Structures are given as C-alpha cells and as structure tokens.
Amino acid sequence: MKITRLAQGLLAGLLGCAAVAVPAAVGASVASADVASTLVFNKNTEGHDCYRIPTIVKANNGDLLAFAEGRNGGASTCADLGEIDLVMKRSTDGGKTWSALATVIKANGDTKGNPAPIVIPGSNRIVLLSTMQCYTNPSCGRIPRVSISEDNGKTWGAPRVLTTELGFASAPGWLATGPSHGIVLTRGAHAGRIVAGMSYTISGKNTGSLVYSDDQGATWHRGATDTSTSDLMNPQEISVTELKDGRIYAAARNDANSDNKCVSDGTHNRAFAISSDGGATFSSKFAFATDLVTPTVEGSTARMSATDTGGKYNRIVFAAPSTCDRRKELRIHSSFDEGANWTGTADSLLVWGQDAAYSDMVQLSQSSVGVLFEAGPEYHANDTIRYATVTDTALGAPACGGGYGVIDQASLGTAGTVYLSYNASNGQNCVSTMKNDAAGTATATSAFLEVKGSSRITDSGSFSYFAGPVEAAAADKCVQWGGTAGGQTYTSAFEHCG
C-alpha cells in the first residue's frame, strides 16, 4: 500500500443481494469481484436504449435515490447527444430492490442529464443540478439548471435556468454539472452551504470549478475556478468531499490525456484541488493525484467516516476503473489522511471485475458506503448500472489495507485507537494507531509490533493522522502490540498465538 504519514505543515500545502453474473467475451481474463451487487438500470428496458451517468444520494427518510440519464436516439447507441431523459429509481430497503423508473426531467426532444443531487439535512428537500443541450440545435450551448423536490424526490419542480446567475453571458459550448452528488458543508464558517462541481469550456479554455448556494438551492454562485494553462491538465467531472478541517477536496478527471491514457503509467489521469473558503476560491489548484491509476474517466469520492462525527478514524473513499488502457475493474481506494495519500491498486477493493465506467457513492453509516456504477462484460462497460454496499471490513483494516481484518483494538481514550489486524492469506499481522482528537495536527504518535522471538518493530514520529502500518509475519506465533497518541500508551501482553 502506498501510504506516507504527514508531518507537521505538509497537509496545509495540499491540501446486498447475490450478484447477477454477466459472461465475459471468450478468452477474456476476468478479475473476481470482492462484493455482490444488484441490478438497477439495464439497457433496452423501461423505454430507453441505455442508461448512463449514475449518481446517488440517501434521502432524509432513509430511501436511496439512484439518478441516471435514460438515453435514446443519437448518432450511435448510447450516444452523449440524443433524446435523453433524466430518470430516477428508489430503494426503500437499503439497495436490495429498486422501484420502477420515474422520469425527473423529460427530454422533450433534447438532452437532459449530468445529474448532481444534494440532500438538505433536516428536511425533505433535495436539490438537483443538471445540464440541458438542444439535440437538434447543439449551438444553443450547454445550459445549467436546478430542480427542487420538497418530498424526498417523489415530485419535482420545473427546472430553472442558471446560466446568467452563474455569471455566463451565454451558455458555454461545453458545460457539465457534476456528474456526482454535491455536498452540504457541516464545519466552519460556511456550514450549511451547498457545494457541487462543474466544468466548462469557453473560447477553447477548459475550466474546473465549484458552484455554491447559501440558501438551500434557491440561488447560486460560481465560485472557485481553475482554467487550464497547459495541455497537461484539463479538470472535468468534479466530485467534492468535505475534509475534517472544513476544506473542500475537489477530485477531477484529467481529460488532457484522452488520447494517451497510459502516459506516466496512468498516474496523471486523476487530479485534485483544494478550497479553503467554502468553495469560493481554490487555495491549491488542480494537480495530479499520482497514487491513483485510472483511465480517463469520471471517478467518485465520498466520506465514509470521521472522528468528529462519531467515526473511529478518518476515511475517505474513491471509486473508478483501475487500468489505464481501458475502462474496467472498478475499485474503491481509501485515504486515511484526508486525501493526501491513497491506497494503491493492490490494496484497494475490487467491486466489479469486468468492464466498468462512471460511478457515484453515498455514505450509509460511519462504516459503510453505497456505490452506484456502470458495468458490463468486455467492451460493454455501459450495459447496466448496478449498486453495491461496501463496508469498512471489506475495504480492509485502517492503514493496513486490503486483505487485513481487525482482530483486536485498544482505546487510547479520546486520543485515538490502536488496531491489531491479521491477513490470513500471508500470515501477517499489522498494527496501526489512528488519531482522534488531534487528527490533522502533527503530534507524537507511535505503533509497534513484536512477534515472540523476534525484535520489536516500531513506527514513531510526529504524525498528523496515524502511525504505522507496522507489519510482520506472525502465523502460529504470539504477538505483543500497542502504540501511543496524545500522551496515552497501550501495550498488550503476548497474545493471539494461533
């Protein structure tokens, strides 16, 4: 796993049900997925040729709402430009089953898509950003719009055009809202603000941006913008996550490499920027997220857990296909230090082992997320849209990564927790100390592991989020483990000898 802890000052600069099998093409090598998924949208059903661009939110009544573009017509099957409805399905049982299709915004001969839904806390309101384009007259531009539901998505008001409100003299030739869920900030001076991603192109200049609303979606502002100044960066399809200190992590597809997907082995296909003022400006412009290997494709982020909202440790997750040459093998990666570092491919969770493309995620609890994703057999990544529930256990132990499961833990009071994990496939133990109270501030933290008969291995220093991972082969041997944080220390006896 590619993980480095952050010393003081560094972060400030950075920021179901059983699966339905789909046969692979003859001769294809198919990776075995680690989670089950359920079918939500299927091509050539319910009045549409295909479904694309999934987004998902959890309404305040507990229902899951899955949005997508229901596509018809166009120059080719499932084309981006055609008669496209914005559609939705609902699950009232945690994603096990899904309702019949409902049309949120009817095409009426045009293209209606790029959904970016946002749930307003403590109410029945859901705000939906979307984009319209004239199918038969594309020169009308790409028009940002907003729709509002006051009954958890059962009915919707008519879309309202936001072009002028967002500061555009006319609709840009290219503009896309989302396409992933937006967020409502919960920390700091801008708590309550809605923030979502948007990208656009004017006069050949590509811009990644954030839009925000301070009145629950009634009025909107174009905030942070980053216009590309080189042919190496083109931020598109932006997914936003609130960091524990109130800043905003904006994750983007870097579309500059669309003709050379495997440049730098695929490590330049993802980008990120940071906003420190609630989405008004970018304090750090878009830069490569080199831990993540993907093709040029949309990817999604979500908060799984945070110590200031009841989580045992901090975890953000990222979902996308994981090979640079083609959209396939959708994986979920984890960050335990607020997006500064991500687990690599080997330590991520494989959700779908065949072809896959766009996705979105929703926090279900402090230990699970739901992922809605495009999936299909070889060279058919857009055949279906599926849903899976993913737990922290499936994602792997904190800081130790895939294959490890927590077998013991010890509290360091409010300062943090020490975890002992085990990987049955290689007989290794792993120890990590995850900070709580002072997470984000570099303080003395340590983790250690001693296999009986061997020397103690210790990782200690001034760390912002965690110490470790400390790993050692320990099959059939007793181990002593522990760590420190916030002046508190835990040391176990020699135990777990099996």
What CATH number corresponds to the domain at position 109?
Answer: 2.120.10.10
User: pLDDT tens digits, residue range 137-179?
Assistant: 878 999 999 999 999 999 999 999 999 999 999 999 999 999 9
The 10 Å CB-count burial string (b at 16+, else e) for 395-427 is bbbbbbbbbbebebbbebeebbbbbbbbbeeee
User: pLDDT tens digits, residue range 24-38?
Assistant: 333 345 677 779 999
Give me the mean pLDDT over the 337-342 stretch.
94
* Distance from the Cα of residue 185 to its chain's centroid: 16
Per-residue model confidence (pLDDT) at position 17:
35
Does 3 reside within a domain?
Answer: no
Shared domain for 181 and 287, answered yes or no, is yes
Shared domain for 426 and 390, answered yes or no, is no
- Domain stop point among 341, 376, 395: 395
Does 498 reside within a domain?
Answer: no
CA distance 374 to 347: 22
Question: 492, 410 in Cβ contact below 8 A?
Answer: yes
Does 228 reside within a domain?
Answer: yes
Does 27 reside within a domain?
Answer: no
User: pLDDT tens digits, residue range 139-149?
Assistant: 899 999 999 99
pLDDT at 441 over 60: yes
Shared domain for 334 and 468, answered yes or no, is no
Does 2 reside within a domain?
Answer: no
Most confident residue range from 104-113, 391-400, 402-411 = 104-113
Does 26 reside within a domain?
Answer: no
Shared domain for 177 and 222, answered yes or no, is yes
Shared domain for 440 and 301, answered yes or no, is no
pLDDT at 14 over 80: no
Shared domain for 310 and 458, answered yes or no, is no
- Domain stop point among 395, 421, 439: 395
Shared domain for 205 and 263, answered yes or no, is yes
User: pLDDT tens digits, residue range 76-105?
Assistant: 789 999 999 999 999 999 999 999 999 999
Shared domain for 391 and 409, answered yes or no, is no
Residue 23: count of CB within 10 angstroms of its CB: 10
Shared domain for 354 and 445, answered yes or no, is no
CA distance 105 to 61: 22
Shared domain for 409 and 390, answered yes or no, is no
Q: Strand 328-335 relative to strand 349-365: parallel, antiparallel, unpaired?
A: antiparallel
**How many domains is the chain partitioned into structurally?**
2
CA distance 20 to 44: 17
pLDDT bin (cut points 50, 70, 90) of residue 15 is very low
Upstream peptide bond of 179 is cis (omega within 30 degrees of 0)? yes
pLDDT at 206 over 80: yes
Residues spanned by the domain of 39: 11-21+33-395
Does 195 reside within a domain?
Answer: yes
User: pLDDT tens digits, residue range 287-315?
Assistant: 999 999 999 999 999 999 998 998 888 99
What CATH number corresponds to the domain at position 421?
Answer: 2.60.40
Shared domain for 456 and 329, answered yes or no, is no
- Domain stop point among 346, 370, 395: 395
Does 362 reside within a domain?
Answer: yes
Shared domain for 338 and 476, answered yes or no, is no
Mean pLDDT rounded to a whole number for the chain = 92
Q: Pick the range with the lowest mean pLDDT from 24-33, 71-80, 354-363, 452-461.
A: 24-33
